């Protein structure tokens, strides 16, 4: 999949455009991507970074990093992605100017968007404008109950199975493996310590069953209360894995929330519970 950062980096072609932020590439987004693909032209995703709402002064807990978004779009079979830098200047463009200066410029013939998509100054542009301007508009109805906002709410509640249904894939955490307390190794369960991006949502604290690198993983998210911790940690233990992960980017699927995190009466009790968590992880099923 070709990734461009400027319109001039794309070769001349007639294109079917899938337009939107596509944070999470969830089931609703997939309908837009499929509508663009169905046109039979070069399928080009036009997406924005940073998230438009952050540029407009709102805090947004993203569902994925940009790198992960691009990987997920590639998995959906997109031909190209144009990552448009979203700036305050871009936000001030009138809707017609936005469409002509960006979409017309890259050879858009078909435009697929969600029915609730808004663009241009004051979010005044609606999908109907693309039709007025002569584009072949493919509006995609909203998928009932599926939105990035709803997925965030489920993740904040620790409901990774519910989130997976809306995402069409397991919820994930990702980060670079960095040096941690190294306490897990002394207990017989060496964990990786993830340095997660600050702007990406992390599910509710607790212990989860999941997977990473083709191995099942028991994942602790929280402050490690048994040892009086206060800093959030994301620590997957990869079952039956032997290798060095330091400095590597790790994507960890979360399949099921097993329990709350808590302090134990003794370290022996903690280790006993960790063994139960590992067995529960072996028995867990991937949600989608």
pLDDT at 184: 62
Q: Which residue has the tokens 């212990």?
A: 207
- ω into 50 cis (within 30 of 0): yes
For the stretch 47-78, pLDDT in tens is: 999 999 898 888 899 999 999 999 999 999 99
Question: In a 3-state reduction of DSSP, which class is residue 131?
Answer: helix
pLDDT above 70 as % of the chain:
98
H/E element, 88: helix 88-91
Q: What is the DSSP letter of 204?
A: P
Q: Please state the three-class secondary structure of 135-182 as a single string.
A: CEEEEECCCCCCCHHHHHHHHHCCCHHHHHHHHCCCEEEEEEEECCCC
Residue-wise over 234-270: b if at least 16 C-beta within 10 A, else e?
A: bbbbbbebeeebeeeebbbbbbbbbeebeeeeeeeeb
pTM score: 0.95
Q: Which two tokens stand for residue 252?
A: 């960890």
How far is residue 287's CA from residue 285's CA, in Å, rounded to a whole number? 6
Return the pLDDT at 20: 96
| Residues 76-105 pLDDT 10s | 999 999 999 999 999 999 999 999 999 999
Instruction: Give per-residue pLDDT as tens, 244-283.
Output: 999 999 999 999 999 999 999 999 999 999 999 999 999 9
Please state, in angstroms and rounded to a whole number, the distance separating the CA atoms of residues 187 and 221: 18
Residue-wise pLDDT tens digits, 162-202: 999 999 999 999 999 998 766 666 688 999 999 999 999 99
Residue 225: what pLDDT?
A: 87
Give me the residue label for tokens 């080009």.
44
204 alpha-carbon distance from chain centroid: 16
Instruction: Tell me which residue has tokens 């310590």.
Output: 193
Characterize the bridge pairing of strands 80-85 and 108-114. unpaired
Rounded to the nearest 10 degrees, the angle between the axes of helix 160-167 and helix 148-156 is 160
């Amino acid at each position: 999949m070709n990734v461009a950062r400027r319109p001039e980096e794309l070769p001349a072609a007639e294109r079917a455009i899938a337009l939107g932020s596509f944070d999470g590439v969830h089931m609703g987004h997939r309908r837009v991507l499929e509508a663009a693909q169905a046109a039979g032209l070069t399928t080009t995703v036009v997406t924005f970074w940073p998230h438009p709402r952050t540029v407009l002064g709102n805090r947004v807990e993203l569902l994925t990093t940009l790198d992960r978004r691009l990987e997920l779009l590639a998995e959906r079979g997109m031909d190209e992605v144009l990552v448009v830098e979203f700036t305050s200047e871009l936000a001030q463009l009138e809707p017609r100017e936005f469409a002509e200066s960006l979409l017309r410029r890259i050879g858009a013939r078909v435009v697929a968007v969600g029915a609730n998509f808004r663009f241009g100054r004051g979010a005044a542009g609606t999908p109907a404008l693309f039709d007025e301007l002569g584009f072949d508009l493919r509006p995609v109805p909203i998928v009932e109950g599926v939105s990035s906002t709803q997925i965030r709410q489920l993740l904040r509640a620790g409901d990774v199975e519910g989130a997976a249904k809306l995402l069409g894939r397991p919820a994930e955490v990702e980060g670079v493996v960095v040096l941690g307390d190294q306490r897990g190794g002394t207990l017989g369960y060496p964990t990786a310590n993830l340095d997660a991006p600050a702007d990406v949502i992390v599910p509710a604290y607790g212990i989860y069953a999941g997977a990473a690198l083709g191995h099942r993983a028991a994942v602790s998210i929280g402050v490690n209360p048994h040892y009086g911790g206060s800093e959030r940690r994301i620590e997957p233990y990869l079952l039956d894995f032997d290798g060095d992960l330091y400095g590597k980017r790790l994507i960890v699927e979360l399949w099921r929330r097993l329990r709350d995190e808590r302090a134990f009466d003794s370290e022996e009790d903690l280790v006993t519970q960790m063994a139960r968590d590992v067995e529960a992880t072996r028995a867990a099923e991937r949600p989608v």
